[in-house]
Amino acid sequence: MLSTDERFLEPAVVGLPCAPVAMPDSKHHPAEVPPESVNPRELQHIWIITGPAGCGKTTVAKGLQEELGLPFIEGDDFHPPANKEKMSNGIPLTDADRWDWLISLREAAIETLSPSDGASRQPPSGVIVTCSALKQKYRDVMRVAAYGHPSVQIHFIYLKAEESVLMERVNERQAHYMKSAMVHSQFEALEEPLEEWDALAVDVAAPPDEVMKRVSAVVAAKLREYQ
């Protein structure tokens, strides 16, 4: 199993408010560069799709799942009924509501990347996770999954759009517990990860096909850094 200790990060600007996002020079971000002792083929990547309600996290995650052939973990599935009830009633979640959810989601990602007890199952080269991760401290909880394991690389793909765009999208949803009022509350809580070295921003104010092209370009460019 992977470690669950804390990890301390050095910030650097890697995300831009439009996409495709230019990749930073790897030599300026040593925390992202695998050591020479790690074979790139042995690396495991955790792709965490983040952003407020309506940004298209699930759609993007499923697209990457098909493109990369990786397992996908839907963050919404890990919310307890009490959290879903609060959100369906337009009540924002507190930090206390989110801690257990974040930890269970992180543990699911760790379990997915871990070999089976009998080592009969080859663990995947990565996993895709959807998680709003609105605040830096929430993202820090997820980052713990890679502590002490240079072969595990975590990447946050931040799906960025104006509040009005996401509000319109949520209003068009049918039978979803996340209501439009929650978009505003999430924007109030949002701490954009634009200056966090492991975050990549993609402008999603575009048709789904174009958004997926932008995300694919960002992911492909990031993977090339490890070749």
For the chain, the structural domain boundaries read: 46-224
DSSP element (H, E) containing 117? none
The answer, as to whether pTM is greater than 0.85, is: no
Strand segments, DSSP code E, in 19-71 are 44-50
Tens of pLDDT, residue by residue over 115-124, are 876 556 688 9
Higher pLDDT, 175 or 70: 70
Q: Would you state the CATH architecture of domain 46-224?
A: 3-Layer(aba) Sandwich (3.40)
pLDDT at 117: 63
**How many Å separate Cα 125 from the centre of its chain?**
16
- pLDDT > 80? residue 54: yes
* Strand pairing category for 72-73 and 152-160: unpaired
- pLDDT > 90? residue 3: no
What percentage of the chain carries pLDDT values higher than 70?
A: 77
107-134 average pLDDT score: 87
- pLDDT > 80? residue 14: no
**Alpha-carbon distances, residue 217 vs 104, 163, 201, 202, 211 (angstroms):** 30, 24, 12, 10, 10
pLDDT at 19: 33
> What mean pLDDT, rounded, does the chain reach?
81
Q: Cα separation of 207 and 172, whole Å? A: 15
